[in-house]
Amino acid sequence: MSKIPIDSSDQVFVLTGAGISAESGLPTFRASDGLWADSRVEDVCTPDAWQRDPERVWAFYSARRAAGAAAQPNPAHIALAELEARLGERFFLCTQNVDDLHERAGSRRLLHMHGELNKARCENECGAPPLTDRRIYQTLNEVGRCPCGGRMRPHIVFFGEVPLQIERIHREIDRATLMLVVGSSGSVYPAANFVHWARRNGARTVYIGPEPPLNAEAFTHVVEGKAGEVLPGLFE
């Protein structure tokens, strides 16, 4: 497989999806044995689900927390942390993942556009900052309340909600000369559009994953393979 050259003027934007954590044992979104095979999105990951049955939502994300805590970063997470160490401010990582495997591999210039598993925030959006929260909840009674009186909800961006820090993501894409997308099926928006924004600006766009994503035609290069096998040693 040919290497991807990165020269001293390149600004690299990386978007990762559930596929990068697959080799760490965390199920992806779409796989037939995936995360959503047993739980419907509508029941655990929408604002309506939270209003209807918050205990069920917390049960689902408590199980995700337990799985995330047991998982370890794989060679793909580590390769991206090493690339950041080499490029410094010329590197930016945007992840759709809510797990913390990028941080645990050493990534720092990182944004979780769909929220973080190990945080909670006020359901009233009262302005109180999100809190670190790794607890596994058995019942809703154990879940705390914000000083404003609102219940604490998972930090996760539910389907139908606006991703976090989208303006910053726009700015980072605007200055990118190389976009790498790793393990994302291209089915969840607006992330599936990032490659189009980058192409419009003339950036090279590379996809890495075992099968072409739905938006494959927007990439200048598709590298078929598992992230943990392809990413280490991919960059020149």
Among positions 89-108, residues that touch ligand NAD (CB under 6 A) are 96-99
* Site for ligand NAD contains 22 (CB under 6 A): yes
* Site for ligand NAD contains 213 (CB under 6 A): yes
CB neighbours (10 Å) of residue 32? 5
Task: For 179-218, give the DSSP string.
Answer: EEEES--S-STTGGGHHHHHHHTT-EEEEEESS--TTGGG
Q: Which of the stretches 7-15, 23-31, 170-178, 198-206 binds ligand NAD when contact is defined by CB under 6 A?
A: 23-31
Instruction: Supply the minimum distance, in Å, between the C-beta of residue 209 and ligand NAD.
Output: 3
Of positions 4, 10, 29, 109, contacts ligand NAD by CB under 6 A:
29
Bridge partners, residue 132, by sequence: 119
Q: Helix (H, G, I), strand (E, B), or coil: what is residue 47?
A: helix
**Closer to ligand NAD by Cβ: residue 20 or 179:** 20
Residue 114 tokens, joined: 């769909």
Angle at 208 between CA 205 and CA 214, to 5 degrees: 75
User: What type of residue is 128?
Assistant: A
Among positions 190-209, residues that touch ligand NAD (CB under 6 A) are 209
Annotated catalytic residue: which of 77, 102, 112, 114? 114
- Residues tagged active-site: 114
